Structure 1
Amino acid sequence: MDQAKTDLQGVKGWLIVVGLIVVIGPLYMLAVMPKMLKDFFYGEPWAAINAPGSVVHWGWKPLVLLEVSFGIAAFIGSIVLFCQFFGKQRGFPRLFIATQILSILFYFGYTIALHLMLPGRPLLDTDSIVALLRTLVPPLIWIPYMLKSERIKQTFVE
C-alpha cells in the first residue's frame, strides 16, 4: 500500500467528529430514555390515552408506542454503530447512512401523523422548523462525507 493511502487510515481529521457523534449518541440516549419511558407510561398523557371513555384521538396510543419503539431501536442501532466504528467494520458507513436516513423518515412520518391528529396545529411552527433543521442538517453533512471520503474508504476495511 502506498504512503498516501496509509496516511488516510485511522480516526483522524473529520472522522474524529464522526467518532464523537458515535460515542455521544448512545450515552445521550441512555441518559434520556429512562425519563422518556417514565413520562410516556407513567405520566398524565398515557393515563389520558388509556382512560375509560377517553375522547383522545385513536392514533395517540400507536404513535406513542411507535415513538418508544423507534427510540429503543435507535439506541440499539447506536450501540451497533459504536461497535462497528471502533472495530473499523466495512459496514459502518452504510449503517451510519441508514441511521441518518431513518431518522429523517421517522421525523417526517411523525410530523405528518401529528398534523393529521391535530389538524388545527400548524405544520411548521418555530419549534418544528428548529426540529426539522436539527434532523436534516447533520445528514446533509455526513452522508456525502461517508460516500466521498477517502479516509472512510481506507479506514473501514475489516
Structure 2
Amino acid sequence: MQQEPLQEPFQESMREHRPLGVSGLGGWLILIQIGLWFTLIMLLVQINQSMLTIFNTETWEVLTAKDSGLYHPLWAPVIIFETVFNLMFLVFTVYVIVAFYRKKAILPRLMIIFYSLSLGVGIVDYLLLYQIPIARELEDGSSVRDIARSAIACAIWIPYFIKSERVQNTFVR
C-alpha cells in the first residue's frame, strides 16, 4: 500500500504567494521615484541656500529687529516655521524613500500624507507670508503656482495610491 505524500499542503503553504497582475517599482511608480529624489535634492538646496542665509545674524536682525525698516512681527515665526517644517519634511522624505524601496505596506499611506502635507503647508505658508506687507509686494505669483501644482499632484497621485493595482501588489511587506 502506497501512502500519499504528506508534503503537499506544507509545500503549498510555503510557496511564495505572488499577486496576480502588475507589481514592482515600474510603471507610473518611476515618476514617483523621480519626484521623491527631486524633493530630497530641492529640500537640501533650499535648506542650504535659504535657511542658512536667513539665520545669518545680519539678515535675521534686518527682518526681526523692531527698529528695522523691514520689521514685521510675523517674520520670526514664519522663518522658524519654514525651517522646522523643511527639516522635518527632509527626514520624512528620507523615511518615505526607504519605505518605498523596501516595498513597505505603509508606503501608500505615507505618500498620501506626503502629498497632503505639501499642499497644506504650502497654503499655510502662503497665508502667513501674505500677512507681511513686503512679502505680499514681492510675491510674483510663484507661491500660487506652487500651490496649484501641489493641488494637481494631490488630485493625481492620492487616487493613484488608493486605487492602483500595481501599488496594491507592490507594497505588501
* Partners of 1:22 and 1:85 within 8 A in 2: no
Residue 63 of structure 1 aligns with an amino acid whose one-letter code is V
CA distance in 1, matches of 2:89, 2:67: 34
Larger Rg: 2
Selected match of 1:51 from 61, 65, 90:
65
**Matching residue of 1:118:** 133
- What percentage of aligned pairs have identical amino acids? 26
Selected match of 2:143 from 110, 128, 132:
128
Selected match of 2:112 from 47, 72, 97:
97
CA distance in 2, matches of 1:36, 1:119: 17
CA distance in 2, matches of 1:135, 1:46: 29
The number of residues matched between the two structures is 155
Greater Cα offset, 32-41 or 147-156:
32-41
**Matching residue of 1:9:** 23
Gaps of 5+ in 2: 1-16
CA distance in 1, matches of 2:26, 2:38: 17
CA distance in 1, matches of 2:147, 2:74: 22
Q: CA offsets, 1:104-149, max 9 Å, x none? A: 1111111111222339947x86333322222212121111110110
What are the within-5 Å matches in structure 2 for residues 57-72 of structure 1?
Answer: 57-72=72-87
**Matching residue of 1:22:** 36
SS in 2 for 1:22: helix
**Cα drift, residue 21 of structure 1:** 1.5
Asked if residue 38 in structure 1 is aligned to residue 52 in structure 2, the reply is yes
CA gap of 1:54–1:128, structure 2 versus 1, over 3 A, is same
**Cα drift, residue 7 of structure 1:** 4.0
RMSD: 2.4
Asked which structure has the greater RCO (Cα within 8 Å, sep 6+), the reply is 1
Gaps of 5+ in 1: none
TM-score, L = length of structure 2: 0.78
